[in-house]
Amino acid sequence: MSTSKIVLVTGAGTGLGRAFTHALTAAGHQVVAVGRTAATLEEAVASAPGPGAAEAFRADVTDAAAVVDLFAHIVQRWGRLDVLVNNAGMFGPTKPIDEVSVDEWKQVVDVNLTGAFLCAQAAFRLMRNQDPQGGRIINNGSISAHTPRPHAVGYTASKHGITGLTKALALEGRAHNIAAGQIDIGNAATELTAGIASGSLQADGSIRPEPTIDAAIVARVVAQQVELPLDVNVPFQTVMANGMPYIGRG
């Protein structure tokens, strides 16, 4: 078993976050599992396999004060943070650009981008000042950080923003032994992608089913990144269902 690390996973109650939590505890790490819904969060933590362990911390990552409380807890409980997995996100409304309300836009951007920034900023500050210095930040991007789906302007724009956030973190982190990278995931089978297997809107206007992959496979990739020494970074990595329409989407 590798040396146990303190890992923070946001959006940990369901979907990919739950899979990440389970893969990391199985690898022997201590996971601080963060989410907004107590019931799903507690279930994810209770079902996490050892030899590591997970603890639940209920917080809304879009709330700056809640993020401050979260990191204060980490410092008090563990004294340091080795890895942040910035995973909390939402897809938002599926409708044409001109039908998306300002409130709908803000909700998606707040969760996907502002929440990621708040957690990354707090993690960066902690990793920069802790002893020994450094840590790793892994942002959950998306295929949509590169190529959009139709009728998903908020999700697409926020995920493109994650790419910029990742690059800024990686650049500024070099001086402080902080490695920052992004994993772009395509069609992992979760609640968020439940409709894709039965039929998804394509760029040509047709509705066609798309293949998916087990979220546990993606979680294994994240767990591998957590194991890397800090003199190694994976700036961008794409993990996707082989048959999905991305390379030449549409």
Q: Which residues are catalytic?
A: 155
Q: Which two tokens stand for residue 164?
A: 């910029």
Q: Which two tokens stand for residue 69?
A: 């409380």
Do the beta carbons of residue 6 and residue 74 sit within 8 Å? yes
Q: Which of 199, 90, 203, 211 is nearest to 155 (CA)?
A: 90
Q: Which two tokens stand for residue 231?
A: 């003199």
CA-to-CA dists, residue 120 to 68, 150, 187, angstroms: 12, 29, 25
Torsions phi, psi of 140, nearest 5? -80, 105
Cα 190 to Cα 209: distance, rounded to the nearest angstrom: 15
